[in-house]
Amino acid sequence: MIKVGIIGGAGYTAGELIRLLLNHPQAEICFVQSNSQGGLQVSDVHTDLIGDTDLVFDTKPEMNQVDVLFLCMGHGRSKDFVHGLPSNYKGKIIDLSHDFRLNEAAEGFVYGLPECNREQIKQSNRIANPGCFATSIQLALLPLAAIRKLSEVHVHAITGSTGAGQAASDTTHFSWRNNNVSVYKSFSHQHLGEIGETVLQLQPDFKEAINFVPMRGNYPRGIMASVYMDCDLSEETANELFADYYNDHPFVVMTTKNPDLKQVVNTNKAILFVKKYGTKLHIVSLIDNLLKGASGQAIQNMNLLFGLDEATGLRLKPVAF
């Protein structure tokens, strides 16, 4: 059994990690750390876990009792935590924050997008889990970048309220979010950096813009990214390209029918829909922001780190209705 510790256990991504790990056949949770919830039962905070676990939040766990640490702290805090780890800590680390995703800040962390870096992930001890928008958008771009067919990219993408984290704010307040949609961080979202680095990894001469307009949706979870660009491939050739690229990646599903978010919510799937309109190639990419966009992908990376089938513990039923 893989012995697991979770640091920063009170938020949405940690709650999803705990849910997945409790049902993972090869993992055992040794502790869930939280400074703010110390002494409380985990199911008092993550109420969907009532009856599933008697775990109690720990404030000062023993790090060396685990094989892997999942870091679920806010952006900017993971780096301080890693730098403060005991020098004798020998376990692996999977960080779900932004702190180690970019090359200039990586400090030995491998960018954990299995559909691009699977072999590097298998050989690593430290993984920077990708961002949720970044995951959805990159999956729409990887096959084209791999054959150097990317041109200027245009993206409109919408995410659920859980993408903003658990801390309350004006834009997550029910009265504001319900029956409402808004644009934010146009052309400046923090995930553009990691998207750009991955594209350059596959298409080193890419110099065009990736124009990204993110939107807040009036629902809890799920990302739909609408991605388009000029492309001289036919629709048939583009679909064959995507199918070939993702042939041995278990969570990317190609469809010929216009998809919807309920097909991915509560799963680690990414669904891709590719169509051609005149000179424009249009890719619709859907994921659950808390699973394939965060905790599910983190478990996928854990499976790869420990030599398991990467789908272990991640065959989940979508909400559907």
Rounded to whole angstroms, the Cα distance separating 310 from 316 reads: 13
Q: CA 57, 169, 225, 297: dihedral to nearest 10 degrees? A: -10
> Which amino acid is present at 141?
L
The single residue of 30, 72, 116, 132 carrying the catalytic annotation is 132
CB 156 within 8 A of CB 170: no
Angle ∠(118,120,126) on CA atoms, nearest 5 = 105
132 is catalytic: yes
**Strand order from edge to edge, sheet including 280-287:** 182-183, 210-216, 153-159, 223-230, 280-287, 270-277, 252-255
> Which amino acid is present at 55?
L
Angle ∠(26,318,260) on CA atoms, nearest 5 = 140
φ/ψ region of 227 (left if φ > 0, alpha if ψ in -120 to 50, else beta) reads beta
Residues with catalytic function: 132
